[in-house]
Amino acid sequence: MGEMTGFQLGVIGALFLSVASSVSIVICNKALMSNLGFPFATTLTSWHLMVTFCTLHAAQRLNFFESKSIDMKTVMLFGILNGISIGLLNLSLGFNSIGFYQMTKLAIIPFTVLLETLFLKKQFSQKIKFSLFLLLVGVGIASVTDLQLNFVGTILSLLAIITTCVGQILTNTIQKRLNVSSTQLLYQSAPFQAAILFVSGPLVDQFLTKQNVFAHKYSSIVLVFIILSCLIAVSVNFSTFLVIGKTSPVTYQVLGHLKTCLVLGFGYTLLHDPFTHRNIIGILVAIFGMGLYSYFCLQENKKKQAGDLSLGSQIKDKDGIPLLSIDKDGHEVKKSTKNSLV
């Protein structure tokens, strides 16, 4: 019971850290890109990952966590895949309208459910599917404005969805099957993610913005916000791996849409972004869907725990039955019951 309570507290802490850090970095990056004129999102992400690796390396040297060796091929492919997914999401935003980009992000949940059902044989109840449907409808109402389709943008969006889903499923699977922590996996994979984005980032950004990140004039205030963004990103990257490892890729995506609703709300209250009745209705529907998803997940987890305890009790009872008994004359007699191994 104590271990279960500790696990639940760990999950709540991971979820809170993920929401707080993600909302913070969105507000910071929006100020950096919209107000200060620094549009190089992909390159900035590579800096985030480099700072994250350096921070974790320092923490490892100070014995805050123990490094664990993971198969180099697995880590390399995993890191490169995650790096590519980030680049594809940014390209998708560049080639598509904001509305179609939001639809791309919404499509990640049903595609993740499909992949986990087909390849990992994971079962999702009708209640869970209904709550996810409500969530997606709500976020769609709140955030999707226009839908402008084009062939290249659609292909990039499909590739972004596939790589993002596979990357997040692997984040969960690697941690559980190789018995590594979120910190250990992030420490091992961050250099590869940073490397591929550091090489491709300036090219992607120049293609999308028609500007060169290395020719940009860096004022002191821009540098301050870049450093702040990188520091917050350490928490974002750490909490992302932590949440996916402790829960599931689908739960992480649900959490991501909660962040979208919070960002819309903060944008209205702090940055005075335009806000309509449609945004309010969409956010309320999305929050209701999230509430149902959380409730149904808790109910199913309780049933699973009760089933595990019942199974454990039956096994214990079976183990307690002796294979041999002694009759009244003192002779050993084998049990002829179903619990006998003979």
Q: What confidence score (pLDDT) does residue 133 get?
A: 95
Per-range mean pLDDT, top range of 26-30, 37-41, 274-278, 304-308: 37-41
Nearest to 230 by CA among 20, 18, 45: 45
Burial of 5 (0-12, 13-18, 19+ CB in 10 A): exposed
Distances (CA, A) of 10 to 17, 234, 235, 256, 304: 10, 18, 15, 18, 19
Quote the pLDDT of residue 325.
47
Report the sign of the C-alpha dihedral through residues 233, 234, 240, 241, in that order.
Answer: positive
Give the chain's length.
342
Contact 32, 24 (CB under 8 A): no
- Give the model's pLDDT for residue 215: 93
Please state the φ and ψ torsions of residue 227, each to the nearest 5 degrees.
-60, -45
CA distances from 125 to 33, 61, 107, 128 (A): 41, 45, 19, 5
Question: What one-letter code names the amino acid at 49?
Answer: L
Percentage of the chain with pLDDT > 90? 56
| Cα–Cα dist 206/201, whole Å | 8
Q: Please provide the DSSP assignment of 16-76 as one string.
A: HHHHHHHHHHHHHHHIIIIIS----HHHHHHHHHHHHHHHHHHHHHTTSS------HHHHH
CA dist., res. 125 & res. 319, Å (int): 34
Is 80's pLDDT higher than 80? yes
Q: Which residue has the tokens 């994250």?
A: 52
> Beta partners for 334?
324
Residue pair 175/128 in contact by the 8 Å Cβ criterion: no
What residue ranges do the domains of the chain occupy? 10-310
Q: What is the pLDDT averaged over residues 94-109?
A: 85
Q: What is the pLDDT of residues 175-218, one digit of tens each?
A: 999 999 999 999 999 999 999 999 999 999 999 999 999 999 99
Span 11-58, pLDDT tens digits: 888 889 988 998 899 889 988 988 899 999 999 999 999 999 999 999
DSSP 271: S
Select from 225, 224, 203 the least CA-distant residue to 214.
203
The pLDDT of residue 100 is: 82
- CA separation for the pair 232, 195 (Å, rounded): 20
> Which pLDDT band, with edges at 50, 70 and 90, does 327 fall under?
low
pLDDT tens-place string over residues 233-245: 999 999 999 999 8
Mean pLDDT score of the chain, rounded to an integer? 85
For 231, other C-beta atoms within 10 Å of its C-beta total 15
* Of 101-110, 153-162, 326-335, the least confident: 326-335
Pair 107, 186: CB distance under 8 Å: no
Distance (Å, rounded) from C-alpha 313 to C-alpha 303?
15
Segment 44-73 shows an average pLDDT of 94
The pLDDT score that the predictor gives to residue 334 is 46
Question: Are residues 230 and 51 in contact, defined by beta-carbon separation less than 8 angstroms?
Answer: yes
- In this prediction, residue 310 carries a pLDDT of 65
Q: What pLDDT shows up at residue 323?
A: 39
Q: Indicate the residue type of 282.
A: G
CA dihedral 20, 26, 28, 34 (to 10 degrees): -160
